[in-house]
Amino acid sequence: MSTLDTTPSTPVTPRWQTLLIRPETMTFLLLVVGIFAGSQLSPFFLDINYILKSFTLYSELAIVALILTMVIIAGEIDLSPAANMALSACLFAWAQASGIPMPVAIGIGLAAGLLMGLLNAWMVISLQLPSIIVTIGTLTLYRGLAQVIAGDKSIRVPEWFIGVDKIMILGIPLPVVLFIVLALVLAVILGGTIFGRQIYQIGTNETAARYAGIRSARIKFSLFLLIGFVASVAGIMTASRLGSVRYDLALGGELQMVLMAMLGGTYIFGGRGTILGTFLAAWLLVVVSTGMIVANVLPAVQLVVLGGLLIVAIIATNLIYSRTQR
Amino acid sequence: MAADPLKIVYIGKNTGNPYFDSITGGFEDACKSLGCEFEFVAPATAEATSQIPFIEAQIQRGVNVIGIAPNSPDALNQVLADAKAKGILVLTVNGDITGNEQYRDATILPVNFDIVGRDQVEMVGSLIGYEGEIAILSATTEAPDQNKWIVGMNETLKSDPKYAKMSLVATVYGDDQPEKSTTEMEALLSNFPNLKGVIAPTTVGIAAAAQVVQSRGIADKVAVTGLGLPSEMRDFVKDGTVKAFQLWSPYNEGWLAVHFAKGVIEGTIKNEVGSTFEVPNLGTITINANNSINTQAELTTFNAENIDQFDF
């Protein structure tokens, strides 16, 4: 019992019980129920290729949601990544359409994503403004700039660049592989490194973390840069999947990302949450949505089910966290 | 051989849009009479990519025909290509993917949109005695269909001597919102006291314009016409606020789509430019350039005599 013991140890609780009351367990159970319900709703649902293919439609948002999970655990929020995706993709598409070589155009898109992350980071960390307000502002700003660049038209990408979702690795579409690999890497970083522990500590009590010598400003700054960069990667992937770019690419995607993090048990006030939770929640969202779509369930019912899921998840997360806090 | 019945699905722009109920009605009735299975699905919002999972799901369900009112001229290209590669007949119905025609097999549109502007000018002209000031109350400044029609109206007014005594004094945009359309209509009336006619080539605009004219009781001074839904305009026509307006029959689009799809799949109709086929109640239909098919040659005009025959 010395310096490294950061997890509150409760020796009386048996291991199965601590496992059972983790929020990811709830996400996992919901996922199992979702798969079962989907297979009951339609005979066309239980087809691994179809589910993987459907996941590619959500994969870009899911990839960003993994980083967003870390941002939320650090006690901040970023609502601008979906707009960032659109602006990065528009800049990239506009650049390559005006004759700039493809690698440079991709570089422009990625640099733009990094810059957008930098702007958020500067306002949140250097100017000490609340991240929710800052990123609602930049959400509108980035989307607006995307519309200025692309207008109401769409910009095409060359034929050879189309189809990142058609590239298969061991029978799995590339965007899904990227999502899985990134989840593994981030899970190790967040769960197994000092850097990861520091993110949790900043989110739990930033003042205390700072007194403990954690450079919270620098860590949060790097998280905002990271999410900006990853959002631009996701934007360019979306451009490749759709074959064209418009200013309304990933419109409303920020809500899907937050939904994935929340469904996975990430605590909106920071300090708690896991990559595994968001990983499972992304699959849950895909399974529930496609399960209902392939069964031709009315969209109104679909919205009710998704809303209900989120409320269940939030109530359960709060209950679990308030229990374990005692 | 009694094969499996043809499975046809129609994917609308979004749910809760009464216009699509009528198209769907045509699909349903035709499927009943020809023995096909029919389903209507639509996303909750009409956003560019929201139809993609629905198309994927229909591919997975193994349908034979996908009819779709596309929400985007190109965001659906890749998934429609997948559907075609699976041997599914892809028809755009009531809207096309202009510029990307290779991703669908044919398009079914109500009328040739090139003549809508001309017909609308003739309509308002006949109502005001071909003389006086007229204005246009449109949807949004970017609405592609409306803009095409407005160009047609301007050209007709300029080139045809029949309309020489009519002058277009303003084109305003109500953004397809009832409140904004009402405000724009009120502004037209106060800015142009001699205004004699208003063309509103959008269902929201014409209803708002008629409402303003009705509440001011000036139907004898200002003629409102345009494109409207009979169900929304019935009362205005019955009390004389609106003498006549136009539209097409969305019902016939669904009706034609099913007959065409069944014919193409069974090999009785050749999906080639210039070929013709017969559709019950619609007569002989020709496949025009770009595999584009129109359900009617001219706009249908609705007035007090015939409006009760239409229920969409």
pLDDT per residue as tens digits for the range B182-196 = 999 999 999 999 999
The answer to whether B111 and B295 are in contact (CB under 8 A) is: yes
Burial degree of A100 (CB within 10 A; 0-12, 13-18, 19+)? middle
Spatial distance between the Cα atoms of A138 and A67, rounded to a whole number of angstroms = 18
CATH number where A242 lies: 1.10.3470
Least CB-CB distance to B57: which of A156, A163, A294? A294
Nearest residue of chain A to residue B60 (CA atoms): A44
The residues in A 57-116 lying below 8 A from B, measured between CB atoms, are 57
Q: List, for residues B73-104, the tens digit of each pLDDT value.
A: 888 999 999 999 999 999 999 888 888 899 99
Q: Is A302 in the B-facing interface, judged by CB distances under 8 Å?
A: yes
- Is residue A81, in this structure, part of any structural domain at all? yes
Pick the CATH number of B7-111+249-296 from 1.10.540.10, 3.40.190.10, 3.10.310.10, 3.40.50.2300: 3.40.50.2300
* pLDDT score recorded for residue A103: 95
Spatial distance between the Cα atoms of A132 and A129, rounded to a whole number of angstroms = 9
Interchain CB distance below 8 Å, A298 and B52: no
**Residue A199, amino acid:** I
* pLDDT score recorded for residue B74: 84
3-state percent breakdown (helix, strand, coil) of chain B, nearest 5: 45, 20, 35
Quote the ipTM score: 0.85
* pLDDT score recorded for residue A91: 97
* pLDDT score recorded for residue A179: 97
Interchain CB distance below 8 Å, A299 and B61: no
Q: List, for residues A280-305, the tens digit of each pLDDT value.
A: 999 999 999 999 999 999 888 988 99
Q: List, for residues B250-309, the tens digit of each pLDDT value.
A: 899 999 999 999 999 999 999 999 999 999 988 899 999 889 999 888 899 999 999 988
Q: What are residue B35's DSSP bridge partners? A: none
- By residue range, what is the domain housing residue A228? 44-325
* pLDDT score recorded for residue A17: 67
* pLDDT score recorded for residue A14: 66
φ, ψ for residue A78 (rounded to 5)? -135, 115
- A300 vs chain B: nearest CA distance in angstroms? 7
> Across chain B, what does the average pLDDT equal?
91
Least CB-CB distance to A44: which of B43, B47, B60? B60
Spatial distance between the Cα atoms of B251 and B255, rounded to a whole number of angstroms = 6
> Where does chain B show beta strands of DSSP type E?
7-11, 37-41, 65-68, 89-93, 106-109, 132-138, 166-173, 195-200, 223-226, 244-247, 276-279, 283-286, 292-294, 300-303
In chain A, residues with a C-beta closer than 8 Å to the C-beta of B73 are 154
- Is residue A14, in this structure, part of any structural domain at all? no
* pLDDT score recorded for residue B309: 84
| Share above pLDDT 70 across residues of chain B, in percent, rounded to a whole number | 99
* pLDDT score recorded for residue A323: 72
CATH 3.40.50.2300 in chain B, residue ranges: 7-111+249-296, 113-247
Would you say residue A127 has pLDDT above 90?
yes
The separation between CA B79 and the C-alpha centre of its own chain, rounded to angstroms, equals 25
Q: List, for residues B208-258, the tens digit of each pLDDT value.
A: 999 999 999 999 999 999 999 998 999 999 999 999 999 988 899 999 999
Q: Is A160 in the B-facing interface, judged by CB distances under 8 Å?
A: no
Q: Is A303 in the B-facing interface, judged by CB distances under 8 Å?
A: yes
Q: List, for residues A68-98, the tens digit of each pLDDT value.
A: 999 999 999 999 999 999 999 999 999 999 9
In chain A, residues with a C-beta closer than 8 Å to the C-beta of B39 are 296
The answer to whether A180 and A171 are in contact (CB under 8 A) is: no
| Share above pLDDT 90 across residues of chain A, in percent, rounded to a whole number | 80
**Considering just the CA atoms, what is the radius of gyration of chain A in Å?**
20
Ordered DSSP codes for A150-214: HTTS-EE--GGG--GGG-EETTEEHHHHHHHHHHHHHHHHHHHSHHHHHHHHHHH-HHHHHHTT-
φ, ψ for residue B251 (rounded to 5)? -55, -45
Please determine, looking at this structure, whether the domain spanning B113-247 carries the CATH number 3.40.50.300: no
* pLDDT score recorded for residue B249: 86
CB atoms within 10 A of CB A49: 12
Least CB-CB distance to B44: which of A47, A156, A303? A303
In chain B, residues with a C-beta closer than 8 Å to the C-beta of A156 are 74
Spatial distance between the Cα atoms of B52 and B43, rounded to a whole number of angstroms = 9
Interchain CB distance below 8 Å, A289 and B41: no
In chain A, residues with a C-beta closer than 8 Å to the C-beta of B42 are 299
- Most A CBs within 10 A among B14, B17, B49, hence the mutation to make, goes to B49
Interchain CB distance below 8 Å, A290 and B53: yes
Q: Is A244 in the B-facing interface, judged by CB distances under 8 Å?
A: yes
Would you say residue A13 has pLDDT above 70?
no
- B238 vs chain A: nearest CA distance in angstroms? 35
* Cα within 13 Å of Cα(A37), Cβ side: 16
pLDDT-derived band at B1, boundaries 50, 70, 90 = very low
Interchain CB distance below 8 Å, B47 and A298: no
- Is residue A116, in this structure, part of any structural domain at all? yes
3-state percent breakdown (helix, strand, coil) of chain A, nearest 5: 75, 0, 25
* Cα within 13 Å of Cα(A322), Cβ side: 6
- Most B CBs within 10 A among A41, A61, A154, hence the mutation to make, goes to A154
| C-alpha pair distances (Å), A208 with each of A2, A200, A205, A212, A223 | 18, 12, 5, 6, 20
Q: Is A185 in the B-facing interface, judged by CB distances under 8 Å?
A: no
Q: Which of A18, A6, A65, A22 is nearest to A201 (CA)?
A: A6
Interchain CB distance below 8 Å, A242 and B39: no
pLDDT-derived band at B15, boundaries 50, 70, 90 = confident
Q: Which two tokens stand for residue B279?
A: 């559709």
* pLDDT score recorded for residue A2: 45
B13 Cβ partners below 8 Å, 6+ apart? Answer: B20, B42, B46, B51, B69, B71, B95
In chain B, residues with a C-beta closer than 8 Å to the C-beta of A241 are 78
Spatial distance between the Cα atoms of A85 and A109, rounded to a whole number of angstroms = 9
Interchain CB distance below 8 Å, B53 and A296: no
| C-alpha pair distances (Å), A319 with each of A29, A204, A258 | 16, 17, 19
Q: List, for residues A233-287, the tens digit of each pLDDT value.
A: 999 999 999 999 999 899 989 999 999 999 999 998 999 999 999 999 999 999 9
In chain A, residues with a C-beta closer than 8 Å to the C-beta of B60 are 44, 47, 50, 294
Least CB-CB distance to A296: which of B41, B52, B72? B41
Q: Is A39 in the B-facing interface, judged by CB distances under 8 Å?
A: no
Contact residues, chain B to chain A, C-beta under 8 Å: 15, 39, 41-44, 47-49, 52-54, 56-57, 60-62, 72-75, 77-78, 142
- Most B CBs within 10 A among A47, A55, A242, hence the mutation to make, goes to A242
| Share above pLDDT 90 across residues of chain B, in percent, rounded to a whole number | 73
Q: Is A251 in the B-facing interface, judged by CB distances under 8 Å?
A: yes
Spatial distance between the Cα atoms of A261 and A178, rounded to a whole number of angstroms = 18
- B75 vs chain A: nearest CA distance in angstroms? 6
- Most A CBs within 10 A among B7, B56, B59, hence the mutation to make, goes to B56
What is the total count of domains within chain A? 1
